[in-house]
Amino acid sequence: MAKKEERPKVKISKESLREALILFTYLKPYRGKFIWALVFIALSAFTTSLFPLFLGKMIDAAAPGTNLTTGGTMIPTFGMNLSDIHWSINTTLLLIFAQLTVQTLFSFMRIYLLTEVGERSLAGMRKDVYSKLLTMPMHFFSEKRVGELSNRISSDLSQIQDAISYTLAEFLRGIFTLLIGLVFIFWISTKLALVMLSVVPVIAIHAVIFGKKIRKMAKRAQDQLAESGTIVQETFQGIT
């Protein structure tokens, strides 16, 4: 079997980024739902950040003698006077239950809206790709196998749909959670925040290294999936 020709690596440039942004044009018909999904992502991240606060209050209620200050810095209350609240174990448990309930609702709406937007966008992509394939010259089909083309339409575009409905959502949720968490930490203790931020470069370096390895493995798996799909389809065509 001839060795499969390696495609050149795509370098990140203004042109490549501009081409990648074309994918977001498929979101325009559903931009309203997409914006609402972003709102629910931010709300979900905010409610997630409230859990450590309520958990800390429950620990304080179980250990009398603690107060609302940490290192002389008042915990952020966003205009609410927390000293007026009777932080009993029952109160904190009710607040945690309410927080988890609201967080679940926000997460459900986020997943529902992004999944719908992703599926509808995927349908538009497949329609345009199919229409484009029908206009390709004959030598294109002589160089490409039928199974490979059909697999690209089904499998590769599904990867794009996953990137829109899952990867993008988790990325934005992580960004919102990081920003809200940094606000809380800087408000409580600047020194603590700086200590935590000092490990970010180390984590970023390891993330880049592992990211490159995972990207190579994912590309290899995607190519092998397309190859296996091609073999199966051509085998069935030969039988019939």
Q: Where does 135-189 have alpha helices with state H?
A: 138-143, 146-151, 157-162, 168-188
Residue type, 108: F
pLDDT for res 9? 55
Question: pLDDT digits over 139-189, tens only?
Answer: 777 777 766 677 777 777 777 777 777 777 788 888 888 888 888 788 877
- Output the DSSP codes for 3-49: PPPPPPPPPP-HHHHHHHHGGGGGGGGGHHHHHHHHHHHHHHHHHHH
Q: Which two tokens stand for residue 227?
A: 């190859």
- What whole-number distance in Å separates Cα of residue 53 and Cα of residue 209? 34
Give the Cβ contact number of residue 31 at 10 Å. 11
Over residues 185-210, the mean pLDDT reads: 82
Q: Which two tokens stand for residue 130?
A: 């199919």
| Overall pTM > 0.85 | no
**Cβ proximity of 156 and 194 under 8 Å:** no
Q: Which two tokens stand for residue 31?
A: 């931009």
CATH architecture of structural domain 14-193: Up-down Bundle (1.20)
